[in-house]
Chain A
Amino acid sequence: MRPRHPEELLSPTPNRPSSRAALAAGLTILVLAAVAPGAIAQEADATWPQYQGGAAHPGALAEGPQPPFRVRWMLPAPAGEALSAAIVVGDRAISVGSEAVYAIDLQTGVEETIAARSGGPLSVPAFATVGSTPMVLYLEGPEASGAGASPTPSGTPSPTQATTTSPGSEAVGPDEEVPASFLVAVSLEDRSELWRVPFGATTRSGVTVDGGTAYVGDQQRHVVAIALEDGSVVWTADVPGRVDAPVAVADGRVYVVARDGAAGQATIVALDAATGERAWAVVPQATSTLASAPSAGGGSVFVGAADRLVRSLAPEDGAERWTSLVLSFFTPFTALAVAEGAVYAADVTAGLYRLDAADGRRRWGFQLNDRVIRSAPVVSGSTVLLGLNDGRLVAIDTDSGHLVWESEASPGLVGTIALGTDVVVAVKGGRDAGLIAFEHDPDGALVDVPSPTELDAGTTFSRYGIAAAIVLILALIPGIALRRRLGPVDLTGGVDLDDEEPAGGTDEGVEG
């Protein structure tokens, strides 16, 4: 396979809102580069570089594609049973399969292998640029056989040269004889492995990148920060539960949802992004480990939990700013989208809600009457997109809360969504599980369907009237006829109380 030049792989970002913004972004990049040599502005080259589009999981792309959509391509997993959620980098989507990491041409859906992979849970990769080197980071192992993956010789430098340690760091690093999994960095320039970091436990959180650091949580209650430049472990922090969802990073904090199955609770933990020290921890409820992945935006942290509450927490101390009740709970495989002063949440029964980020007031809700297990809402321009378990991708207008477009239901769910400027890439379940891409359909038609929870008085009263008439007739006509024939109810129960003979055993019905 011909190695592709990074210029081919990474097209320039089409998002240039204004020259002033571009100038500001450029200055920011320069400043960051000066402060942290080797680190980078990965956002400049990728529309959707990691889970939910960014380290804070905003789940929004202002210049994203608009409905109506049509299917551009479908890609069954080349090997294994499925593909991970995708990220979008230039004109490629990148996804993790059980045996390889793939770059998929967004136009054609043709995939090529970036790197081989030795199994393990599928989780979302992340894209970053260190210096001039674009790289993809993904989690690997353990192998399906159950044996730990053997440490493959890695590029230099080795993670044994950890620059920083913190409590719990013994679970990660060279002391582990048989690492359970790895964080691997592969160059997108020449497909070479830059470095790999062994983990003592299985990792399924996916990778979050912020600045020059990658963050990964594992199944043995650790969150690890790794320097992108050399793969060294910056810090390791203990959290009160396993980490199944990508961590969010914003405002100098790392937000983690840690799930403790034994205690039956989920805990939202905030760590200092620089040191890994715990800033605060909040337990939303004490009876379930279910909670969404964290999202941050507008100076707040947002999490949906099993008590059906969406919470806004203060980054400083975890204080609860507001809660908003929705119809059902949230799975760990979803996240909230935060865009333009609004929070979009999708509960497990496919209720999609727009909440005011300032006070939690519900602006609208739309009940899609399905299931949302492995999808999260994303905001694409003026519509919210959501994948459903019945295979539909739906688009809801952010202002009206009305359904404006939906795809046909099909076998297999539509899962986590990634956005490009002209394409929607989503995980597809079912027999040919993999990825599915949608593009704007100029010949398609939009609809305007309100939520079924909005009362349609005319229709409902009409139906009720007809139903009442039917029940009235079906009940009363035979009832009155029977009463006339049988006479009044015998309140003796068919028993002569003065008679010593038992009479309760007979069942003659109503007397005539």
Chain B
Amino acid sequence: MSGKKRPPRRPAQARPVPAKRAEPPAEPRRPFGSALFGQASSVMPPIGRSLGRGLLTIVSSPVLVVVALVLVPLAWFGLLAIGFEGSPSRLVDVLALPPISTYFDLGTAVSIVGFGPAFLVFTGAAILIRSLVYAVLTGVILEALEDGRVSSYGVLRGVGAIPTVVVVQVLSFSLIVVGNLIFPILGPGLGFLAFVAALVAGLFFLGFAPTAAIRQRRGITETLRRSGRAAMLPGSRQLLFCTLYFFVALPVVVGFAPGGSDVTANPTLGTWIFALAVNVLHLGFMAALSYRWIVAEPSVPDQPVRRRKAARQPSARPRGRR
């Protein structure tokens, strides 16, 4: 351990906004790409620390690990029951964050029912089920982060965020559908890149919304706005975080999944181990996002930040207005 002076520990609960934070009237212009590469003065914790604390929160909680281990086979046998035929490698994204999870759901819907009215019915049901699961998981993860334990209190807090999470899922669905309609115009290469960028952008702007909904209990629109503002905090590295997650969750994880694209109802032992472990990792990313929100919450502006065209101020630490 380093010999640095450590900050005093704070109570693990939603903290009121310090009243003394009177902010300057306008935000100084940020350097281009600060949201991607970050800067030393950011209030948002670094990616490594976020992931470390997120993963530790999950793997130190038997309940959360068991939840991941139970939800994955539930999803698999549920899909088989309604006629799914496909590769068990899909299991790796059962607990993925939206819009990647939405992408997973759409692929599953197309596989089972093709395109048509049944596709919309299936997708609607998937959005509702996933919203419930995602909201409750966020609630219990928040509780684990704040109090170091998981209880029905976390579940109830999560249930309160369901409307916001439903909107997040619907927006993710719309993003993917519109992307599939528009981006092919750009051609196979550029169109694909644009589609990937759209998925990353979806996670970038909406990733904090469930946590924000639970902790701040504001309206859906305001919660979504705050999620976007938090992502746009200077030096947040949120874009890098989302890009990293995207590549871990789709090409890397799916590409390395044992069994490849073989269609079977009976995953191998290796496939099960890989899928379960990866879904624990998804929960780790989910917890990392919640952790980042908790840390940055006091600095998330209440209003959209006005940019000033004046020369950059030497301020060491940008902050949001209240």
| Residue pair A327, B265 in contact (C-beta under 8 Å) | no
Shortest beta-carbon distance from A402 to chain B in Å? 15
Q: Which residues of B contact A512 (CB under 8 A)?
A: 1
Do A327 and B298 touch (CB < 8 A)? no
In the bound complex, do residue A463 and residue B265 qualify as a contact, i.e. CB atoms below 8 Å apart? no
CB distance from A481 to the nearest CB of B (A): 9
Q: Which of A252-260, A268-276, A465-473 contacts B (4 or more CB under 8 A)?
A: A465-473
Whether A488 contacts B45 by the Cβ 8 Å rule is: no
Chain B residues closer than 8 Å to A455, beta-carbon distance: 80, 265-266
Stretch with Cβ within 8 A of A (4 or more), from B50-58, B95-103, B124-132: B50-58
B85 x A483 contact (CB < 8 A): no
Cα distance A509–B1 in the bound complex, in angstroms: 10
- Chain A residues with Cβ under 8 A from B145's Cβ? 489, 491
Question: Measured between C-beta atoms, what is the minimum distance from A283 to chain B in Å?
Answer: 15
Q: Is the CB of B85 within 8 A of A511?
A: no
- The answer to whether A494 touches B49 (Cβ under 8 A) is yes
Name the contact of A475 in the complex, choosing from B46, B65, B292, B296 (C-beta under 8 A). B65
Chain B 247-275 interface mask (CB, 8 Å, partner A; 1/0): 00000000000000111111111001100
Shortest C-beta distance, A79 to chain B (Å), equals 38
The verdict on A460 contacting B8 (CB below 8 Å), with A470-B273, A501-B316 known, is no
Chain A residues with CB under 8 Å of B62's CB are 476, 480
Contact A467 B276 (CB under 8 A): yes
Q: Is B217 positioned at the interface, with any CB of A under 8 Å from its CB?
A: no
Q: Which residue of B lies closest to A370 (CB)?
A: B262
Chain A residues with CB under 8 A of B43: 493, 495, 497, 504
B115, CB-defined interface residue at 8 Å: yes
Within 8 A of B (CB), among A450-494: 452-456, 459-460, 463-464, 466-468, 470-472, 474-476, 478-480, 482-483, 486, 488-494
Chain A proximity of B125: nearest CB distance (Å): 18
CA distance A327 to B87 in the complex (A): 11
The CA of A508 and the CA of B48, in the complex, are separated in Å by: 9
Q: Is B41 located at the chain interface by the 8 A CB criterion? A: yes
Complex contacts, B298 vs chain A, CB 8 Å = 497
* Residue ID in chain B nearest A489 by CB atoms: B53
A500 to B7, CA, bound (A): 12
Chain B residues contacting A500 (CB-CB under 8 Å) are 316-317
Known contacts being A464-B73, A496-B7, A499-B7, is A507 close to B263, with CB within 8 Å?
A: no
B40 interface residue per 8 A CB criterion:
yes
Q: Is the CB of A471 within 8 A of B273?
A: yes
**How far is it, in angstroms, between the C-alpha of A118 and the C-alpha of B276 when the chains are bound?**
60
Bitwise, A346-383 to B at CB < 8 A (1) or not (0) is 00010100000000000001010100000000000000
Beta-carbon contact of B291 and A491 below 8 Å: yes
> Which residues of chain B in 16-75 are interfacial with respect to chain A, using CB atoms and an 8 Å cutoff?
18, 38-46, 48-49, 52-53, 56-62, 65-66, 69, 73
A463's contact among B12, B59, B272, B316, by CB below 8 Å, is which? B272
**A444 contacts chain B at the CB level, 8 A cutoff:** no
User: Does A442 lie at the interface of the complex (its beta carbon under 8 Å from any beta carbon of B)?
Assistant: no
Q: What's the minimum C-beta distance from A474 to chain B, rounded to whole angstroms? A: 8
B294 near A491: Cβ-Cβ < 8 Å = yes
Near B by CB (< 8 A), chain A positions 220-235 give none
Most buried by A among B44, B80, B264, B296: B264
Contact residue among B56, B114, B266, B269 (Cβ-Cβ distance under 8 Å from A466): B269
How far apart sit A480 and B85, CA to CA, in the bound complex (Å)? 38
Is A307 close to B, CB under 8 A?
yes
- CB neighbours (8 Å) of B44 from chain A are 493, 504
B78 at the interface (CB under 8 A from A): no
Q: Given A467-B273, A472-B65, A491-B294, is A308 in contact with B264 using a C-beta cutoff of 8 Å?
A: no
Partner of B262, one of A369, A478, A486, A497: A369
Distance in angstroms from A40 CB to nearest chain B CB is 44
B266 to chain A, nearest CB (A): 5
- The residue in B40, B113, B261, B298 that gathers the most chain A C-beta atoms within 10 A of its C-beta is B40
Asked if B295 CB lies within 8 Å of chain A CBs, one says yes
A467 and B316 CA atoms in complex are apart in Å by 49
Q: Flag whether B146 is at the interface (Cβ < 8 A).
A: yes
> Which of A327, A490, A506 meets B85, CB within 8 Å?
A327
B200 adjacent to chain A (CB < 8 Å): no
Residues of B within 8 A of A496 (CB): 7-8
Closest residue of A by beta carbon distance from B55: A479
Q: Which of B7, B57, B235, B265 contacts A504 (CB 8 A)?
A: B235
Taking CB atoms, residues of chain A closer than 8 Å to B41 are 502, 504-505
Q: Is A493 a contact partner of B60 (Cβ separation < 8 A)?
A: no
Chain A residue, CB-CB nearest to B21: A497
Complex-state Cα separation, A500 to B114, whole angstroms: 57
- Among B45, B80, B114, point to the contact of A493 (Cβ < 8 A): B45
Question: Quick check: is A325 within 8 A (CB to CB) of the other chain?
Answer: yes
Given contacts A349-B263, A452-B264, A500-B316, contact A463 B45 (CB under 8 A): no
Does A319 reach chain B (CB closer than 8 Å)? no
If A464-B73, A479-B60, A509-B52 touch, whether A502 touches B40 (CB-CB below 8 Å) is yes
Contact A507 B49 (CB under 8 A): yes
A125 to chain B, nearest CB (A): 36
Within the complex, which residue of A492, A495, A504, A506 is in contact with B9, where a contact is CB–CB below 8 Å?
A492
> How far does the alpha carbon of A369 sit from the alpha carbon of B148 in the complex, in Å?
46
Residues in chain B near residue A470, CB distance under 8 A: 273
The answer to whether the Cβ of A86 comes within 8 Å of any Cβ in the partner chain is no
Is A309 engaged at the interface, CB distance under 8 Å to the other chain?
yes
C-alpha spacing A308/B39, complex, angstroms: 50
User: Within the assembled complex, what's the spacing in Å between the Cα atoms of A478 and B55?
Assistant: 11
Q: Which of B49, B261, B273, B317 contacts A502 (CB 8 A)?
A: B317
A486 to chain B, nearest CB (A): 7
Closest to A469 in B: B69
B160 CB-CB contact with A under 8 Å: no
User: Is there contact, CB below 8 Å, between B272 and A504?
Assistant: no
Say yes or no: B272 contacts A467, CB within 8 Å.
Answer: yes
In the assembled complex, the CB of B318 is this many whole angstroms from the nearest CB of chain A, namely: 10
Known: A476-B65, A500-B316. A452 touches B266 (CB 8 A): yes
Q: With an 8 A cutoff between CB atoms, is A27 at the interface?
A: no
Verify if A62 is at the interface (C-beta below 8 Å from B).
no
User: Which single residue of chain B is at the shortest CB-CB distance from A462?
Assistant: B269
Q: What residue in chain B is nearest A452 (Cβ atoms)?
A: B264
Q: Does A24 contact B (CB under 8 A)?
A: no
Return the 9 tightest CB-CB contacts between A and B, nearest first: A479-B59, A493-B295, A467-B272, A483-B60, A505-B40, A452-B264, A493-B45, A496-B7, A479-B60
Can you name 4 extra interface pairs (CB under 8 A) apart from A491-B12, A507-B49?
A309-B114, A482-B56, A506-B46, A509-B52
Can you list 20 contacts pairing A with B, beta carbon distance less than 8 Å?
Answer: A351-B263, A369-B261, A455-B80, A463-B266, A464-B73, A467-B269, A468-B73, A472-B65, A479-B58, A489-B145, A489-B148, A491-B295, A493-B294, A493-B296, A494-B7, A495-B295, A502-B41, A504-B42, A508-B4, A510-B52
